[in-house]
Structure 1
């Protein structure tokens, strides 16, 4: 799959000249394929096992690492980096999917992770990460699914081709989405939206809360 910058797509981000990376938002406005991908049954099954079947979509974007791109910087994912802590590994607040749209290799900026670092329930330590991090390589179509507290980073792209990945953040329904405009999609998307997509966009939030109250005998 090719994701190209479009002058008519205001949500398409500019290339960061310092890092050589480009972050692209607003994917749901750019083809039904993105609607299908965010609802992929395998991803939904895993994410719902961790977050519950009323989870919502916190962010949905693509990231391009151009030739020569450098590391983004080791981090945990939202909402953890926006919190003061202390953190708890359970219940998870967010699950991230890094979907490889091209092969991830040793040379082209494959994701770096510190295995089991989510269990530390802490912000990243750069020295520990440099010592423990490994590259996750894989073939186009593979996906990395991780707890939001996992320490991770991009690596440098030493190849001559861009490296593209799809990023999906699923979160607990009570967590404010990182992308505040996640539900601002074209009318055609809403018209054909499945119940699952409506749920992911937060459009069934009130109904979900009503079910919670009814379950607990409060409504």
Structure 2
């Protein structure tokens, strides 16, 4: 039976494909205050702005490709049972070939009803005011905005608690509850941390190996490190 490698990924791994992040800058996401485009208040204040913002992100997603970090993680599936828990809303892990991907913060290529969170549709084009579910309720991006609950967190917790190895890649570990997952890694499980600006992880009970590198370079080193078991 393959050992389980659980990987928590953040914006850093997608940034190398050309998808911008706001956490490394001044709180702006593609020129917008994040609370204007990623909060229920922003949606109620100006839904057209929010829809246009995500329409542009959806178009941008079609123009970028998975990078070597995404691809190397997918290749690790040959030897490991790889479960990716991502804070990213893009589909680059899937396009690189990863089979088990859990999106904590939603998915850009899906929309949902404003009245029924379980009514979710695949959606690759633009979403506009007037696009509704079968009960005439407006559709919205299937994104977990600031202040909203994270429906996938319980599943992420279960996956984390059964890890044989746990890796953190390209995330500042500042966004909760995602950042809190590391506290649920079993104490005997080694943790690998890949980030060009790694932070101190307080109260970590696990053996920690840090790779102060961009995601693509760090994942390659992690891959070599893990595959050494098979040599």
> Would you say same fold, with TM above 0.5?
no
Higher helix proportion:
2
